[in-house]
Structure 1
C-alpha cells in the first residue's frame, strides 16, 4: 500500500509518500481501501506536534474517509467485503489500506458520493454534537457562526438551518458571506469591516444571539460573547485563528450565559450510541440534500501538502478531500 507519512514534526511539506506492506485485520477489525480521505484543520496541528492527540512517529494524517471493505477480521458482523463504508479514526487515514474497528464504520447510503461521505464525520459530526447535545439549539433561536465559510463553519450554517435556527454567518469578507448564504445563512456580518458585537446586537434588536458557534478563537471570541443573549450558549469548538482567547469570566455572570466546551472525539468514546444516532441523522440529511456536505477541492494523495496548506491558510470553503490510489 501507499501511505502519506509524518516522519518528523513540522509543516505539511515534511510529509513523505512511502510504500508499506498491506496490513491484516485482527478480531473485530476491518481492512478498508479508502478512495477518499477528508482533511481537517487539526491535521495541520497534529503533524506539527501542536495538537492534544500526539501519535508516535511515523503516522499518517487524516481522520475520516470513505472507501470499500477489503477484508473482515474474525467475529465481525454487519459488514461485507466490497461494501461502501465511511468512518472516523482520529488520524492515520491517508493511505491506501487502513485497519479500523467495526464500531468506527457506517454504511454509505446510495445517492451519496464518496467525496461527500468522506467528510461527514468530523466537521458535521462535531457540529451536530455541538448544536444538539451541547448547545441545545432550538427552532426559532438565533445562531451566530464565526468563520462561517470554512469546513466546520459551513457545517454549522447547514445544521443550524436544519434544526430551524436563524443563522447569522460571520466571516472576513463579502465573498465568504455570500458563500455562506448559498448554504442557508439568512444574514451576515463582515467582521473585517463591521464591529462584530454591535452588529450582532443590532441584528437581534438589542437582545443578542442565543447561541455562538466559535471554531475560530482569537480576538473575535470575546466580541461575540459580549453580543450573547440572556441564557445564551457560547460553544468553544476550536482555535483556527491560532490564539486561545482569555475570556473575562464576569461576562458569564452579567449575561447569565454558559461557555460550553465541544470535544467530539471524547463524546464518540463516552457516548457511542448517541454518536451513532447523530451519524445516522447526518447521512440521512446528506442523502436527501438537507445538507450539502460541500467539497471545496479533491486533490490526489501526492498533493497532500498543498491540501493541508489550503486549510492552514484558511482558504478552504467547505471540505478538502484527498483521492487515494486504489491499486
Structure 2
C-alpha cells in the first residue's frame, strides 16, 4: 500500500492546552469602550426598546452605571447626549452646561481614572436631526458646520473629556477640530475620528436610543456608500493627514474587510464600532433561544480583533467583561 503524505494540522488542536498555546488573537477588557446615553431630566433610567439591557440615564442615576463599568474593569466609555431642547444649529451640543459637558464633569469627578470619550456631533441636538447646518433648500452645508463642530469639541475638552470623537462626516472636520483644540490650549487632547462611517441600516436602534433620526431625507450625502472599499482609504488618509489619533470603522460586522484594509494601510490605532443593529440582532436571537449569546458575542468580537481592530466600541462590553472573568 502506498504511504499517504499529508499535513496533520489537528495535532495542534488535540487538547485545550495545545489550542491555548497556539492561539493567535485575544480579546481583553482593556480593548473595550462602552457607550452610555445620558439624558437631561431627573430620575431617568429608560431601557431602549430595541436594545435590551441598554438604558438612557439622567445625571442623578448615572452613578449606578459608571460604578458598575469601573467595577467590571472596563477602562473607557463614550458619552452620547439627549438634550431637552433642540434647535436648527444644535446649540446644546456646544453649550458649556450641555448634557455631555455636565455628564463628563460628573464622571471625571467620581472616577478620574475612567477614560471619557465625547461623541462630537450635532444630530442629537438639531431639530432636523442632521449632522450639520441645513439651508432653506434642505441641503447640509459643510463649511458652516465646521465652526460649530470645533466649538463643540472645545466645550467638551473644557469639561474634561479625555478624547474627542467626531462622528459627523463633514469634509475637513478633523482639521477644524484639531485647530480649534490647539488654539484653545488642548493640544494634548486626542481625536478619535469616525473616519470610515458608512450610511448603514445597522444604525436603526441607535436612533431610538439617541433620538437622532433625521426629520427629512437621509445621510447619504455625507456618510459613505456601503458598496465602496477604496473610498475608506481616501477618507482615512485625509483624517490621518489632518491630525486624527485614532480611526473608527463603523459599522464593524459587515465591514471586516474594511477594518483589515485600514489596518494594513495605517499605523494609527483602529477602533471597530460594533453598532446598535449588530447588538440588537444578537439580543433578539438569544431571547428566542436560537443562539448561545456568550459564544456568539465572543466569537464576533474576536473576529473584529482578528480583522485588525485594536479597540472595540460595543454595547456588549459589560457582558463581555463578565464572561472574560469567567474564562
Q: What is the TM-score when the length of structure 2 is the normalising length?
A: 0.30
Structure showing greater Rg: 2
The structure richer in strand per residue is 1
Higher helix share: 2
- TM-score, normalising length: structure 1: 0.30
